[in-house]
Amino acid sequence: MSALSLTELPARVKIVEMGPRDGLQNEAAVVKTADKVRFIDLLSASGLAAIEATSFVRPSAIPQLDDAEAVMAAIERRPGVTYLALTPNMRGLDRARSAGVRAVAVFTAASESFTKRNINMTIAESLATFATVVRDARRDGMWVRAYVSTAFGCPYEGAVEVDAVVRVASALAEFGVDEISIGDTIGVATPRGVVEVAGALQAHMPVERLAMHFHDTRGTALANVVAALQMQISIFDSSAGGLGGCPYAPGATGNLATEDLLYMLDGMGIETGVSLEGIRAASRYLSGAIGREPVSRAYRALEAAAARA
């Protein structure tokens, strides 16, 4: 009997693909609408159950995502796939509704300075805004996700208290959101912090509603995924190719790459329903469109092996 037993881990994981929104939002290159649509269609074909496709933010605020309506109109919406769009306010929700979006997401943080600089609201103001957005979205039968970023550290304040994460996440849970994604926005988390935060949150909400959004800025993302799995978390955010970078450490790695996550989960015998080859094809396409190789380690290893064969 081995000392390390992995038998208590979830048998199945849901991956929420962040590339088209969180990824492209943080890339310098502005991608043509047709390339985004092709990228999303390739991701859909890989077996992903959830893809964050775009953001209905004011177009001048994030030029990379100023074509939300056009993207939503052109993608092939496969049955069984949830196509999420970020809706920062009621105007965004109205636009999303008109575009036929059935799943929306709201975005706040666990630290005041980040929330102020990122969305120009206090945490309390952001929660007041989202209470209305979530209420109306739910009334329309939409599926709703909420993000709590800077849960493990803030670029302006440093360490973030676990209690601060619990307060914000609990408020969002009370609004009745379907899923809450806890984000390591600057990639500083280590497994110990993941266990602490996941443990504290589980006293306030069902673990089935909790997702983790790790960044690999300091190389700890996959270790954090294993720690979260041990806490029975079974929903993880990742970005095809590792698209996105880290806005707070230019040149550094940001979002955990979907290929790296999949390679590990496949090897651990944890089901995802997602084809690594399919994600690789989507990353290869997008990398051609932005003129940059994906930072995903698994992607690079697979490409290098294929080139030698």
State the Cα–Cα distance between residues 15 and 207, nearest whole angstrom: 15
Q: Is the CB of 137 or the CB of 212 nearer to Mg ion?
A: 212
The least distance separating Mg ion from the CB of residue 22, rounded to whole angstroms, comes to 4
55 scored as a contact of Mg ion (CB under 5 A): no
**Judged by CB under 5 A, which of 255, 272, 283, 287 binds Mg ion?**
255
Count of residues that interact with Mg ion, criterion CB under 5 A: 2
Our answer to whether residue 154 is catalytic in this structure is: no
> How distant, in Å, are the alpha carbons of 33, 103, 140 from that of 100?
18, 9, 11
Least distance from C-beta 132 to Mg ion, angstroms?
25
Q: Looking at residues 8 to 47 of the shown chain, list those that interact with Mg ion (rule: CB under 5 A).
A: 22
The least CB distance from residue 128 to Mg ion, in Å, is: 24
Q: Are 160 and 122 in contact (CB under 8 A)?
A: no
Of 64-83, which residues contact Mg ion (CB under 5 A)? Answer: none
Smaller CB separation from Mg ion, 111 or 255: 255
Decide if residue 259 touches Mg ion (CB under 5 A).
Answer: no
Cα–Cα dist 171/185, whole Å: 20
Query: 220, exposed or middle or buried, with CB in 10 Å at 0-12, 13-18, 19+?
Result: buried
CB of 257 to Mg ion, least distance (A): 11
With beta carbons less than 8 A apart as the criterion, state whether 24 and 36 touch.
Answer: yes
Tokens of 146: 């909420």
Q: Could you tell me which of 148, 138, 151, 181 has the C-alpha nearest to residue 50?
A: 181
Cβ proximity to Mg ion: between 52 and 69 the closer is 52
For Mg ion, the closer CB: 54 or 255: 255
Which helix H or strand E contains 70, and what residues bound it? helix 68-74
Asked if 193 contacts 150 with a C-beta cutoff of 8 angstroms, the reply is: no
157 CB neighbour count, 10 Å cutoff: 15
227, 246, 257, 286: the active-site residue: 246
216 near Mg ion, rule: CB under 5 A: no
Q: Does 217 bind Mg ion (CB under 5 A)?
A: no
User: Of 9 and 248, which has the nearer Cβ to Mg ion?
Assistant: 248
Positions that interact with Mg ion (CB under 5 A): 22, 255
Query: Which residues participate in catalysis according to the annotation?
Result: 246
